[in-house]
Amino acid sequence: MARRIDSYLKDLIPAEKLAFYEAVRDFGDSEIAPHLLHWERSHSLVPDSCIQAMGDMGLFGLPIAEAYGGQGGDHTDLVLMGLALAYHSQAVAITPGAAISLGAKPLQLCGTEAQKQAHLPALAKGERMFVFGLSEPGRGSDAANPQVTAVKKGDRWVLNGEKCWSTNARWASHVVVHALTNPTGQNGKRSTCFIVPMGQKGVFYQEMQGKKVWEQSSTGSIMLENVEVPHDAILGAENDGFKVMVTTLNGGRLFIASLALGSLAFALDKCRVYAEERLQFDDKPIGRFQRVQDVIVDMDIALESGLTWLLHLCRLYEAGTLSREQAAKIKVECSRRASDLIVLAMEICGGVACFDEFGLIRHHNDLFVTRVGEGSNFALKDLIVRPLRQA
Ligand SMILES: Cc1cc2nc3c(=O)[nH]c(=O)nc-3n(C[C@H](O)[C@H](O)[C@H](O)COP(=O)(O)OP(=O)(O)OC[C@H]3O[C@@H](n4cnc5c(N)ncnc54)[C@H](O)[C@@H]3O)c2cc1C
């Protein structure tokens, strides 16, 4: 059965973008889908060979300019990759996705020319990965006030504290550390971002254990103990670190929406097939029951509307006119809609939905991350409501 998402994308994107989406989709079908169950049951992270293959396809350099060794693509390409890979596995999709949208992006947006020359070519090839070091054990939604500190010592800075939830930490070459540098400054002007090599003295990484979402994605805790970096390790302006981070998150939230829609697209196709094949009561398909049809139709509507909206926002992102509220809204809506619907999708498939090889339970678990990651939906609503309260 043809994928429903493919029929929508045909009408929404030009031919060359569709060809790119199809290439990544085919890669997912042949190089990810057949191995997923084994990776899950053996509790392994995305294998190095898979990361290498994605690097060879140029996925890590998608929206990086050709002058820096990238593919010269745009944010639409990034979300198309998210849709294609997340159809099978959000955990695989987030690996290049976070490397680009959270790792390379702050450098693209706020780096000096010297910093870009030093890092972007290797990031574009997937030979290096940057980690987005915003969250901490004691600072999640309240990210503007980090507990990690950076103190000036002569011409150097000394960093102390802990970052956590760091996606891709296992493979990272550097972490962009968001640290408190100006405790008495106004809110949003208290912190600075630093590019810190993972191999620097005093940097310790540990994989966070027990995570039951995005299971093949690396999620690390990064300790910083008297880590010294030079002044030119600063990314963006001094005491403007929060701006670097929140500007980056606009694009990241569009990518998270693509993960939610990729999972939804998988669930929709799974249910369409199952509802016609599963025979109950007089050996007739359960797809004849209106309540089953309702769920499938709701998934279809959510997918079509979500794709149309997301691709529109990608165009605004490229034009430089996407607002923080717009990026937050699509992340909130796609994640809650897809995660609400997947519970119903599982219900119409009955007991078989409980099994890993059926695939829905993986997407169910992974969709939870889309609700809390890159700003929890509840906290983002604080942002979304602001223009609504203006007279
Ligand atoms: C798998 C995974 C990968 C991640 N990767 C990264 C990464 O690469 N880099 C990184 O920096 N972070 C990463 N994160 C962290 C993620 O961004 C945080 O989990 C998120 O910002 C929420 O922070 P918290 O979990 O500390 O929740 P808290 O801030 O403790 O919030 C808990 C809950 O309180 C409520 N709440 C909080 N604030 C408000 C508010 N203002 N209004 C209403 N309700 C509110 C919400 O229900 C919220 O979900 C990752 C998280 C996960 C789960």
Tens digit of pLDDT for each residue in 302-315? 999 999 999 999 99
* Closest residue CA from atom 16 of ligand 1: 373
Q: What is the mean pLDDT of the chain?
A: 97
pLDDT at 143: 94
Give the residue, out of 141, 175, 222, 371, with the most ligand 1 atoms within 8 A of its beta carbon, to mutate for a pocket test: 141
Which residues on adjacent β-strands are paired with residue 206? Answer: 221
Gap between the Cα atoms of 68 and 123, Å rounded? 9
Choosing from 136, 162, 215, 374, which is the catalytic residue? 374
Homologous superfamily of domain range 130-240 = Butyryl-CoA Dehydrogenase, subunit A, domain 2 (2.40.110.10)
Q: Is the CB of 135 under 6 A from ligand 1?
A: yes
Kindly write down the DSSP assignment for every residue of 304-322, as one continuous string: HHHHHHHHHHHHHHHHT--
Rounded average pLDDT over 270-296: 98
The domain defined by 4-125 folds into Butyryl-Coa Dehydrogenase, subunit A; domain 1 (1.10.540)
Tens digit of pLDDT for each residue in 97-136? 999 999 999 999 999 999 999 999 999 999 999 999 999 9
- Kindly tell me the sign of the dihedral angle through the C-alpha atoms of 235, 317, 188, 179: negative
Compute, in degrees rounded to 10, the torsion defined by CA atoms 103, 104, 109, 110.
70
Judged against a pLDDT cut of 70, whether residue 391 lies above it is answered with no
Q: Is the CB of 266 under 6 A from ligand 1?
A: no
Q: Is the CB of 137 under 6 A from ligand 1?
A: no
Distance from the alpha carbon of residue 223 to the mean position of ligand 1, in angstroms: 19
Comma-separated ranges of CATH 1.10.540.10 domains in the chain: 4-125
Q: Is the CB of 30 under 6 A from ligand 1?
A: no
Compute, in degrees rounded to 10, the torsion defined by CA atoms 292, 304, 266, 261.
-120
* Closest residue CA from atom 26 of ligand 1: 140
The domain defined by 243-389 folds into Butyryl-CoA Dehydrogenase, subunit A; domain 3 (1.20.140)
22 as an active site residue: the answer is: no
Amino acid at 251: G
The kind and range of the H/E element at 301 are: helix 290-319
pLDDT at 390: 82
The fraction of the chain above a pLDDT of 70, given in percent, is: 100
Q: Is the CB of 322 under 6 A from ligand 1?
A: no
Distance from the alpha carbon of residue 378 to the mean position of ligand 1, in angstroms: 10
Distance from the alpha carbon of residue 335 to the mean position of ligand 1, in angstroms: 14
First vs last C-alpha separation in the chain = 51
Residue 95 exposure: Cα atoms within 13 Å on the Cβ side? 25
pTM of the model: 0.98
- The tokens describing 166, both together, are 């760091």
